[in-house]
Amino acid sequence: MPLVVQKFGGTSVADSQKILAAARKAVRAQQEGNQVVMVVSAMGKNTDVLVDLAHQISDHPPAREMDMLLSTGEQVSVALMAMAIDSLGCRAISFTGAQIGIKTDSTHTKARIHSISAARMRQALDEGKIVIAAGFQGIDEDSNITTLGRGGSDTTAVALAAALEADACEIYTDVDGVYTTDPRALPEARMVRQVSYDEMLELASLGAGVMHSRSIEFAKKFSVPIHVRSSFSDRPGTMITALPESPGQPVSGATLVKNEARVAILGVPDRPGSSLAIFSKIAARNISVDMIVQNVGDHAKADISFTVLRDDLVSTLEAVQEAAAELGAEGVSHDDKVSKISVVGLGMATQTGVAQTMFRALAEAGVNIQMITTSEIKISVLVDRDQAQNALRVVHRAFELEKEPRAAAAQSADATRLPGPKVARDEAAIVARLSGMEDLTIDDMMLDDTQARVTIGGVPDAPGMAASVFEGIAAAGIFVDMIVQSLGRAGHANLSFTVPQAALQRAVATATELAGQFGCGPVTNSPRVAKLSVSGIGMRSHTGVAIRMFRALSEAGINVAMINTSEVRVNVVVDGAAGQKGLACLQAAFADAQR
C-alpha cells in the first residue's frame, strides 16, 4: 500500500478548526488507499511563547531543560490531532519523538538525528491507524529529550519519509508553494511548479524561508521528492525534486537578504594561512559568515571581504581586529547598511551571459554593486540597503521570473503521487543508511586547471562597471566562470574573473581596453590558475567547511588567490602549479565526509 507523509506546520494547526481541517486531509488520503503518517508542529506561535517564558525565568536557561520545555508544544498538537481523527471516526495514534525511536546526539536545541526505528510506526500503520508523529524532537542515548533546531519539523517529516520509503512527502504550510522570490517583498513573484534540491538549498537559507535547509539536504541525500502546498486549499503546490522547473531557464529564483554587514580586511599579507587565521577567529565566536570574497590585491597584499548578519557585526569586528593585528594587515573597514541580492538557477551552469544580464539590470537602475561572488548556480551581489528593494525588482524582471517558462515542467496538475525509485524494504539496511544521515557529505571535489585569471584593479565604485566589463568580455566571445569583486581602498573595487586559458590573451586585451576607457587599472593576470571546489550537502549546517579547506591548503603551503562561497560550495583559486597537490590535500582533509 502506498505511504504518504504529511507534515503540518504551526500555522496549519493554530487552532481547533485548523487541526480538524488537517485531520480531514489525512483521513481523505487514507480513504484514497494510502497509509498515512502525519508530522505535526506546535500550534501557532506556541514554540515562541515557550521560548519567551523560559527567558522570563532565566537569561541562560539550561539547554537540556529548554528541550524538555519546547518539546511539549508538539506533544500538545499530536494528542489533539489524534483526538481530531478519532472524532472523524478513524483510528489514529500519536507518538513523541522518543516513542518512534528518533535517536539523536546530545546537542540540545540543535540535535542531529542518528537513527530512526520504523518498526513501531509500521505496526500501527499495518493495524490501519493514522500515525501522528511529533515533529522537531528526539531522544539521546541517555533518554534525554532533544530538539532539532527551530523549524525542525520539516526535517522530521523528510527523515520519516526516507526511513519509511514513503511514496510522497507533503509539506502543508501557509503559503501555496515556493515562489520566484518572496511575494511579500515583490507582488509579481510567481509560484513555481517545480524547483530542484540544489536551487532550493541555495534559496532556502537566503530568505525564501519556506523550508528548513537541513530538511532539503536530507531530501536530496535520500531522493525524497517533496510537495510543498497550502493547508488551506487543495491546489497543487511546488514539487522539490532533482530537476528544475524548466531546464532552459538560466535563473529560477531571486532572493534578498536585507540585514547584512560587510567587513573588509585590507592589505592582508598574501601568504598561506591568512584566511584561516581570520575565519577561525570568527568561527570561534560562533558567528556564521556568509559571502566570503578574497581578491587579488596590489603588491603581494590581498583584500579579504565577507558579510555577516548585521546583528553579528560587533563581535565579528572584535575577532577581525585581533586577526588583522596578528597578520599585520593594513586596516579593517565595515558597512552595516548593505543587503544581498542573489539569483539562483541550475541553468546558469551551462549558459553564458547570466551575470551581465544581472549587472546590466542593476546598472540601469543606478544600483552600485559593492561585492560579487558566484558559484555554479548562484550569483550574489551586495548593494546599499536603501536600494535593495528596487534591485530585487529589476533583477527579477530582467530574468522574466514573473512569466511562466515556455517549456513548463512535465508535471501533471495533480502530481501528488511521486514516482520514486522503489527499493526493496530491508529495515536493517535503511537504519544503517540513516545512521550516517546527518553527516556532512561532500558530493564533489574538483580541480579545474584549465583556467586563467584576469584582475582589473582600481575600478571606480560606481554603477555600471561590472555590467560594462562583462558585456565587453562576452562580446569578445569569452566564457567567464568565477567572478569576484571586492571593495578595496579609497572607494575602488578589484574585479577578478577566470576564463579559459586559451582565451586569456583576448580577455586581457579586452580588459585593458575597458580599463583605459574607464580610467582604471592596472590589469593583471595569471596565465594558469587552478580552481579547487568542494561542494556538498551539510556545508552550511556543518560550520567550518571553508575553514577546513583553508587549513588543509595552508598546511600544504598553498596560497589562496581568490575565494568564492555559496550555500553548497566553496571555490578557491590557487596557483596553477599547486592544483594537483591542493586537490590531494583536500581529499585527505575531507576523506571522512566523502560519499
Residues within the interface to Mg ion (CB under 5 A): 9, 151
Among 44, 97, 138, 151, binds ligand ASP (CB under 6 A): 151
Q: Does 339 bind ligand ASP (CB under 6 A)?
A: no
* Cβ density class 380-410: b for 16+ within 10 Å, e for less: bbbbebebbeebbbbbbbbbebeeebeeebe
Q: How far is the CB of 570 from Mg ion (least distance, A)?
A: 28
Q: Does 138 bind ligand ASP (CB under 6 A)?
A: no
Query: Residue 137, CB half-sphere, CA atoms under 13 Å: how many?
Result: 28
Q: Does 41 bind ligand ASP (CB under 6 A)?
A: yes
Count of residues that interact with ligand ASP, criterion CB under 6 A: 13
* DSSP annotation string for 563-595: EEE-SSEEEEEEEGGGHHHHHHHHHHHTGGGB-
Q: How far is the CB of 74 from ligand ASP (least distance, A)?
A: 6
Q: Does 218 bind ligand ASP (CB under 6 A)?
A: no
Q: How far is the CB of 281 from ligand ASP (least distance, A)?
A: 30
User: Which of ligand ASP, Mg ion, none does 136 bind, CB closer than 5 to 8 A by kind?
Assistant: ligand ASP
Q: How far is the CB of 72 from ligand ASP (least distance, A)?
A: 10
Q: How far is the CB of 148 from ligand ASP (least distance, A)?
A: 8
Q: Does 452 bind ligand ASP (CB under 6 A)?
A: no
Which region, judged by CB under 6 A, interacts with ligand ASP, from 144-152, 317-325, 443-451, 581-589?
A: 144-152
Q: How far is the CB of 75 from ligand ASP (least distance, A)?
A: 11
* Secondary structure string (H, E, C) spanning 279-325: HHHHHHCCCCCCCEEEEECCCCEEEEEEEEEHHHHHHHHHHHHHHHH
Residue 479: Cβ within 10 Å count: 15
Which region, judged by CB under 6 A, interacts with ligand ASP, from 151-159, 233-241, 314-322, 380-388?
A: 151-159
Q: How far is the CB of 136 from ligand ASP (least distance, A)?
A: 4
Task: Give the Cα separation of 87 and 588 in Å (integer).
Answer: 58
User: Which of Mg ion, ligand ASP, none does 294 bind, CB closer than 5 to 8 A by kind?
Assistant: none
Q: Which is nearer to Mg ion, 171 or 377 (CB)?
A: 171
Residue 40: Cβ within 10 Å count: 34
User: Which of Mg ion, ligand ASP, none does 494 bind, CB closer than 5 to 8 A by kind?
Assistant: none
Strands 292-296 and 560-565: antiparallel
Task: Give the Cα separation of 211 and 173 in Å (integer).
Answer: 10
Among 136, 222, 470, 550, binds ligand ASP (CB under 6 A): 136
Query: Which amino acid is located at 202 in the chain?
Result: E
| Contact criterion met (CB below 8 Å) for 564 and 305 | no
Q: Does 77 bind ligand ASP (CB under 6 A)?
A: no
* DSSP annotation string for 466-522: HHHHHHHHHHTT-----EEEEE-GGGEEEEEEEEEGGGHHHHHHHHHHHHHHHT---
**Binding site residues, ligand ASP, CB under 6 A:** 9-10, 41-42, 47, 73, 135-136, 150-154
